[in-house]
Each structure stands twice: as C-alpha cells, then as structure tokens.
Amino acid sequence: MHITVYGDTLCAQVTATAMAQTGHRVNWRVVEPASRERLARGRPLFREQGLDRLFADQLESGRLIPGFWEELPQTAPDAVFLAFPPGEQAAAEGLARRLASSTGCGVIVNQTVGPVGAAEQLRNIIKQIDPRAVLVALPDLIQEGNAFQTFTRPDSILLGCEEEEGESLVRELLRPFNRRKDVIHVMSLREAEFAKLAISGILATRISYMNDMACLSESLGVDIDVVRVAMGADPRIGESYLYPGCGFGGPGLSSNVLALVDALNKLAAEPGLLERVLQTNERQKEVLFRKFWQFHHGNVAGKKVALWGVAFKPGTHRVDNAPALKVIEALWAQGVEVTAHDPKALPDLQNWAQGRGELTLCDDPYDAAEGADALMLITEWKPYWSPDWQRLKRRMREPLILDGRNIYEPAFVREQGLIYRGIGR
C-alpha cells in the first residue's frame, strides 16, 4: 500500500520504519526544517538501539521516502498517519483540512495523543469536506528506549473506530504485528483516547505510590526493595512499575497525566488523586539532592557532584522533563560543580544547559567521577550496573554513592569501602 506519515515524533519515525519494513511504500513528511535536513542526510530524528539500522535499511531500499509536510501527495494514499506531538491539535486539524480538500484522504489514522474528543473533532472536519473519508484513533502506546519493539510486538493496541472500512484497513496494516494473538481492542474514538490517558495515569500513580512508600520505609527502618518484591508477588498487584526511584520524566507520561488532571479540574470541584501524583513526582526528582545535602549537613557550596545518566529513561537521548534537570538546577543553586556522563543524551543536555549554568560533560563515566564528593545514579543504563568500585573509590574525593534507581546491592557497595544511599533502603 501507499502510506503517508506526518509528524516529527518518535511515533512517526517508528510507524514509517515499521510500515516500510513490511513492504509498504511510505512517505514520511516532517514539519520542522531541522528535521528535514537530518532526513536529507540520511540521519534519523531519534536514535534508539536497533531502530537506527532499520531506518537506514528502509531508506536504502527506497520504500521509505522522507520529505516536507507541505508536499501533499499527488494521489490519495491508502492511509495517512498523523503522529504529531501532544498539544499540536491545531496542526493536525489544518493538515486534515488540506488533505481532504486536495486529493481526498481515504483513511486517516490519528496517533496524536490529545484531549478526549480531539479525534471526533478531526473526524467532523474531514467529513464536512469529504463525506467518504474515514478517521480512526490509534493512540501511541510505544515506550521510548524500546520503541520499535513495542510497536512491532505489542501487548495491546487501542483502536478507536466507528466504520468497518477503517477497522478493516488498520487490521491489515497491523497484521504483521498482531500474529501471536489478537491484541487489538476496538472501541469508540473517545474510549480509545481516554484509555490511553487512563493507562498513563495508573502507571504514574504506581510509581508515585512506591516513592511515597519508599519515603516512609526509611523512617521505619524497612528496606523498600524487600517490600516491593512481596507486593509484586501478589497477583492482584503484579510486578510492573513498582520500582521506587528519583521520579519519572519524558514528554509522554507527564503530558498524559497533565491532560487527565486538566480534565478532572474542569469537571470536579475537588483536586483529584492524579494532582497528588504529579506533586509527589516533582518532589521525588530532588530526593538525591536532599540526601546529598543531608550527608554534608548543608555545607555543599564548592563541592562537586557527578551524574551518571541524564536521559529521562534508558535507551533514549531525550532529556525532556528528566529528573536530572531538576537535580542539576538544585545543585547549581547551591554553588555545586556538576559533571555528567550519559551514553546518548549529552548533546541534548548541552543544548538545555546553554545559558543556564556551567556543566562539564564527560565521554567516560569515571572521568565524570574524578574528584567528586558524590556520584548520583539517575538513569539506569546497563553500563552503569556493574562499575569498578575500587576505581571509583580511588577517583572520588568522597566515595558517596547516591543510587536513584536502587540498582546496586547496598551491602556489597559498603564492603568495597564506599558509602551507599538508596531510595527507601
């Protein structure tokens, strides 16, 4: 089939790559000039393990053709995917009008996550112009850091659909990724949008709940990791998203929860649970700074802190709303020197830091720890899981390990002659 994908998002890149890989001819249209320049040089917009190579393969095959969003297709494609960032509803509506007014738009697949009712509004716009047009909602459920895998081997697919033609086409497009068992859940447009936001809300709630329990466990002299395992063993609860840490970030989860909070505030007089979830998360982003402050009894000016991991999660180069950003700002405010290492996110961190404060970026994690008074583990990249503890001890001025993801064994770290502080341990 002939498919056009619009958007500068990771969802757009994954969708375009996956569709091209399964034999479709895909035109990927981006909005920003900088995105077009990257694609013109054969470089992906987002870098994730495995995805980079697959993207390059599809470009080379000729099945994936990049371009600019103003270049409307000469003939109507079989399907158009809209994968804009959250909050870009106006851009999606404007493009839908242009598509419906020119070649006709066939089936539009809206992957853009927006407020409940956004897909209905899009549907009404295109129907007024082209009554034969069909719109379905396919909310983005990919997980950054493992985006291609979660798109091509999904546990669940939410399909908002009101017309049989749309459901039939989307099922065919997703057939290569829906073979083990049928994971497509068909529902109304509004239900698909709300289900996506509700999923994000409960995941965020579990994280913040565990962070509250971790805070309490420290006061009670309880190891939260032991409690976590016991909780996860209960089949009514399960193991997912029970790991306490230094907060969640990223453009997706945070914005989805904010959308739910906005909806609740419009419809309910009292603040809801999710508002508290967001407050807990913002507080948790500074937990490592507070532990550093307490260890040095507030005498932190002039000291040096090394950060391992600044991306908002492993596997991505993005620092949007990352806990590391709030930690860095808190350290800067107290006159602390900051060094950082991350396998992928240093360019994005450098762009964020420009004009804000001094930051030393290191290509080697042990160089970042040189002369440091504390090492903060913020993003649990695999290369950080088994460091050379004696090498760290020799290079640090004060061998204080602040483990923001509880990936280390406290007793073992202490046996190596270092000082360990975790979350709720």
pLDDT attached to residue 260: 80
pLDDT attached to residue 268: 65
Q: Which residues of the chain have pLDDT under 50?
A: none
- Token pair in block for residue 339: 């060094």
331: left (phi > 0), else alpha (psi -120 to 50), else beta? alpha
Please write down the HEC assignment for all residues of the chain.
Answer: CEEEEECCCHHHHHHHHHHHHCCCEEEEEECCHHHHHHHHCCCCCCCCCCHHHHHHHHHHHCCEEEEECCCCCCCCCCEEEECCCCCCHHHHHHHHHHHHHCCCCCEEEECCCCCCCHHHHHHHHHHHHCCCCEEEECCCCCCCCCHHHHHHCCCCEEEECCCHHHHHHHHHHHHHHCCCCCCEEEECHHHHHHHHHHHHHHHHHHHHHHHHHHHHHHHHCCCHHHHHHHHHCCCCCCCCCCCCCCCCCCHHHHHHHHHHHHHHHHHCCCCCHHHHHHHHHHHHCCHHHHHHHHHCCCCCCCCEEEEECCCCCCCCCCCCCCHHHHHHHHHHHCCCEEEEECCCCHHHHHHHHCCCCCCEECCCHHHHCCCCCEEEECCCCHHHCCCCHHHHHHHCCCCEEEECCCCCCHHHHHHCCCEEECCCC
- pLDDT tens sequence across 334-344: 999 999 999 99
pLDDT attached to residue 266: 73
- Token pair in block for residue 122: 């899009």
- Token pair in block for residue 300: 């932190």
- pLDDT tens sequence across 136-153: 999 999 988 889 999 999
